[in-house]
A = this chain, B = another copy of it.
Amino acid sequence: VSPKLVNHQDKKEKIILATIDVLSEKGSTGFRIIDVANKLNMGKSTIYEYFVNKQDLLEKALEYYLLEIYLPETNDNYSFIEELNSTIEQIITSSEVDLKKYLVLIDIFYQGINGDFSKMDQFYQEYMSYMIKKFKKDQENGLVNPSIDPEAFVLWVGATFDGITVQLLVKKDLPLIKKAFYSFLKAIKKYIE
């Protein structure tokens, strides 16, 4: 790999990070190429050296976001409930700045549902599979109630996560969100034991 290529990759990443910034500020509706360029003090035509068009830039940025920023590192040693706990802790302790970053999630859903970000489904699927597998292992290990349907259970638990995260973005009432998360956890624990 030549140093030029590394630079190229670096620049691409910088543009993507600026794109995520703009998305979290203006959303994908208000998103403009020029805003990204301005944020990086570069001409907007330069962006076209790295991405074929706006759609391409958005897709790459959302993909990057999911991989690098949003998706928690998976940990095979954790049980299902431990992983939930860890994720919740991570969300709850987010700083103001990090919270703003979650706004991009809305755009991911929005673009995904409208068919403009086809990878969303794939990512979501992968994460679900991971959690389902984990839950099944817990069932095998006798940690959780074996009569629970893993697919159905993981789906609504994931949905609750999405829903509460959105609430976190709408209201900024962090204490209430915390209590909601704990109430949710308690219900889960009671259900799966």
Q: Which residues of B contact A148 (CB under 8 A)?
A: 183
Which of these, B26, B109, B151, B176, contacts A155 with CB under 8 Å? B176
Interface string of A133-175 (1 = CB under 8 A from B): 0000000000000001101110110111111101101110000
Inter-chain contact B163/A156, CB cutoff 8 Å: yes
Inter-chain contact A110/B106, CB cutoff 8 Å: yes
A167's closest neighbor in chain B, by CB? B159
Interface residues of A in 22-63 (CB under 8 A from B): 26-30
Given contacts A170-B121, A190-B190, contact A151 B176 (CB under 8 A): yes
* Residue A130 interfacial (CB < 8 Å): no
Inter-chain contact A170/B113, CB cutoff 8 Å: yes
Distance of A192 from chain B, by nearest CB (Å): 8
* Copies of this chain, count: 4
Alpha-carbon distance between A170 and B117 when the two chains are bound, in angstroms? 12
Q: Which residues of B contact A20 (CB under 8 A)?
A: none
Alpha-carbon distance between A121 and B148 when the two chains are bound, in angstroms? 35
Additional 19 contacts, C-beta under 8 A, given A152-B176, A153-B180, A156-B164: A27-B113, A112-B170, A113-B169, A148-B183, A151-B180, A152-B179, A152-B180, A152-B182, A152-B183, A155-B164, A155-B183, A158-B163, A159-B163, A159-B164, A159-B167, A159-B180, A160-B163, A161-B163, A187-B188
Q: Which residues of A contact B (CB under 8 A)?
A: 26-30, 103, 106, 109-110, 112-114, 120-121, 124, 148-149, 151-153, 155-156, 158-164, 166-167, 169-171, 176-177, 179-184, 186-188, 190-191
